[in-house]
Amino acid sequence: MTEELFDIYDEQLNPIGTATRSETHARGYWHRSFHCWLTRRQGERRFVRFQLRQDGKDTHPGHYDITVAGHLSAGETIRDAVREIEEEIGISVAFEELIPIGQLREEGVGEVNGVPFIDREVSDVFGCVCDLPLTSLTLQAEEVAGVYEADLEELIRLFDGELPELTAEGVEVVDPLTGGLQQTGRRIVRSGEFVPREGYAEIMRALRACT
């Protein structure tokens, strides 16, 4: 299977060519990604959805993360990257429905199965209002282990360190080898179980304005 190619950039974010996914993470090339947080309102309450990454991921396996996130393949624009929403959770969203939140520049290092990685990303961040029930999502089993939702205000308190944990309801893949059979589930969630990123609480506060 041909490995995915990324456009890569120098420290000043000038294009310097392309590299495979594994080479990009091995050498720490800057590359671009797409982040989208799904949110919904229920009465006076706002809920935010987030995913659980599969254990086979090459960076931060088994961590909670943005509802939908993905790298831009070589030649793609951020508009093209909206495809990630349908690929990962099975719903079709037009780029015009997304609400821009901002851009993040992040650097992270780690090791998965003895293989070190250096992840340097510039990410365009969006919100998206989605009232579909979680059970209507079709998860990409090889990438996404589950999608959960929690009260936005509780998430802010969690990321601010004011709440040690919270309970999230969701839908999860029973076994990625079974073709993606899904079931509902409930989890106790802690902030340290999310992919290490700066600004979670600030993004949650920005999601308050999504209508």
CATH number where 192 lies: 3.90.79.10
Q: How confident is the model at residue 18 (pLDDT cuts 50, 70, 90)?
A: very high
Q: How many structural domains does the chain have? A: 1
CA separation for the pair 189, 210 (Å, rounded): 24
104 close to 203: Cβ distance less than 8 angstroms: no
Higher pLDDT, 176 or 194: 194
Report the share of the chain in percent with pLDDT over 70: 98
pLDDT (tens digit per residue) in 139-157:
999 999 999 999 999 999 9
Confidence band (pLDDT; 50, 70, 90) for 115? confident
Please choose, from the candidates 161, 60, 50, the residue with its C-alpha nearest in 3D space to the C-alpha of residue 108: 60
Higher-confidence position of 174 and 168: 168
Residue 78 structure tokens: 């951020």
> For the ranges 9-23, 27-41, 100-114, 128-142, which has the lowest average pLDDT?
100-114
Residue 165: pLDDT above 70?
A: yes
What is the pLDDT averaged over residues 91-109?
94
* Arithmetic mean of pLDDT over the chain: 93
* pLDDT score for 198: 83
DSSP-assigned letter for residue 134: G
pLDDT the model gives residue 197: 87
Per-residue pLDDT at 179: 67
Range of the domain at 138: 5-207
**Does position 1 have pLDDT exceeding 70, yes or no?**
no
Predicted confidence (pLDDT) per residue in 52-96, tens digit? 999 988 778 999 999 999 999 999 999 999 999 999 999 999 999
DSSP 143: T
Query: In the structure encoding, which two tokens stand for residue 210, read together?
Result: 């999504």
- Residue 39 neighbours by CB under 8 Å, 6+ apart: 46, 47, 48, 49, 127, 128, 129, 130, 152, 207, 210
Distance, in Å, from the CA atom of 165 to the CA atom of 129, rounded to the nearest integer, reads: 25
Token couple for 23 = 């080479």
